[in-house]
């Protein structure tokens, strides 16, 4: 299994960056991981990994763990370019969402392409979006995400009945669909990408988004986390980077980490008419 994952990772890196750039990227990743590992908290009580994130325990959902793309076979031509499912740290997600214009948070459809088990979908429902949509190609992850939406909604309603919190969740849905073929809905958009796929699929997604915005000019934002292929977004003529930062995870996110890093590289792009 390790050999298959390694071979797949090498192929994806070459497709994403070319041979020479792939070798440089591999070296950069190793140096980055070593540097970030050295910055982990020295107190072992804050760096003891857990099987599931505290978010899952609180709401009775299953969004934790790392699922490799090589284990998600669907028969689609996009299969070789899936990366992996790994739930975004809630602290990172909320930090990034603070950068999204309030007007988009109030009016847009939030779309998580490659949503996996749906953690970002659940987190986005806490914002006043018109709709929150997850798009997932793998049936086994789609099934879990659908169950998570139901469980999360029930848990939040129970909190409200217990007067612990108000439940003003945005409506959620999860589609079983290849992101490369997804047709964007009308109205303002917030498109969320947690590096879910490699360059061949990402470029199709960006072409589809550009076509949709040309047919119906409107405000949109693209959130890209773990932005390995940000050059593809930089070249999109309809997008302009509005914000970029390396965001530190909080303790609960670090405890559930499976990647070996306490930070996420994040970027926000807006359609050019918004800048």
Query: Would you state the pLDDT for residue 213?
Result: 98
Question: Treating both helix axes as pointing N-terminal to C-terminal, what angle do 2-17 and 199-215 enclose, rounded to 10 degrees?
Answer: 50
Contacting residues for 93 by C-beta, under 8 A, at least 6 apart: 120, 123, 124
Percent of the residues in the chain that have a pLDDT greater than 90, as a whole number: 68
38 pLDDT band, cuts 50/70/90, is very low
The answer to whether residue 131 scores a pLDDT higher than 90 is yes
The per-residue pLDDT for 192 is 98
pLDDT grade for 37, boundaries at 50, 70 and 90: very low
Task: Reply yes or no on whether the pLDDT at 42 is more than 50.
Answer: no
Q: How far apart are CA 39 and CA 263, in angstroms?
A: 10
- Per-residue model confidence (pLDDT) at position 43: 40
pTM of the model: 0.84
- pLDDT tens-digit readout, 142-154: 999 999 999 999 9
The answer to whether domain 40-274 has CATH 3.90.1150.10 is no
Strand partners, 247: 264
How confident is residue 69, by pLDDT bands cut at 50, 70 and 90? Answer: confident
* pLDDT value of position 274: 65
Task: Flag whether pLDDT at 83 surpasses 60.
Answer: yes
Residues 106-117, mean pLDDT to the nearest whole number: 97
Neighbours of 267 (CB within 10 A): 21
**Per-residue pLDDT for 179 more than 50?**
yes
């Amino acid at each position: 299994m390790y050999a298959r994952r390694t071979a797949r990772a090498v192929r994806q890196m070459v497709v994403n960056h070319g041979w020479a750039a792939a070798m440089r990227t591999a070296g950069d990743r190793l140096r980055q991981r070593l540097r970030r590992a050295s910055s982990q908290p020295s107190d072992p009580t804050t760096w003891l990994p857990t099987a599931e994130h505290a978010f899952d325990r609180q709401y009775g959902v299953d969004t934790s763990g790392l699922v490799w793309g090589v284990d998600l076979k669907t028969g689609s031509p996009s299969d070789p370019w899936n990366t992996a499912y790994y739930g975004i740290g809630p602290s990172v997600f909320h930090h990034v969402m603070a950068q999204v214009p309030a007007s988009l948070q109030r009016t847009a459809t939030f779309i998580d392409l490659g949503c996996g088990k749906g953690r970002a979908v659940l987190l986005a429902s806490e914002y006043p979006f018109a709709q929150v949509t997850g798009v997932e190609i793998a049936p086994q992850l789609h099934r879990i995400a659908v169950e998570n939406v139901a469980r999360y909604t029930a848990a939040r309603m129970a909190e409200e009945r217990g007067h612990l919190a108000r439940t003003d969740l945005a409506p959620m849905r999860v589609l079983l669909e290849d992101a490369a073929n997804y047709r964007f809905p009308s109205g303002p958009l917030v498109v969320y990408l947690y590096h879910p796929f490699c360059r061949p699929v990402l470029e199709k997604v960006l072409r589809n988004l550009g076509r949709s915005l040309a047919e119906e000019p409107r405000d949109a934002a693209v959130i890209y986390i773990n932005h390995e292929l940000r050059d593809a977004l930089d070249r999109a003529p309809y997008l302009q980077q509005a914000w970029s930062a390396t965001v530190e995870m909080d303790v609960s996110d670090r405890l559930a980490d499976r990647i070996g890093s306490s930070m996420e590289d994040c970027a926000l792009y807006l359609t050019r008419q918004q800048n």
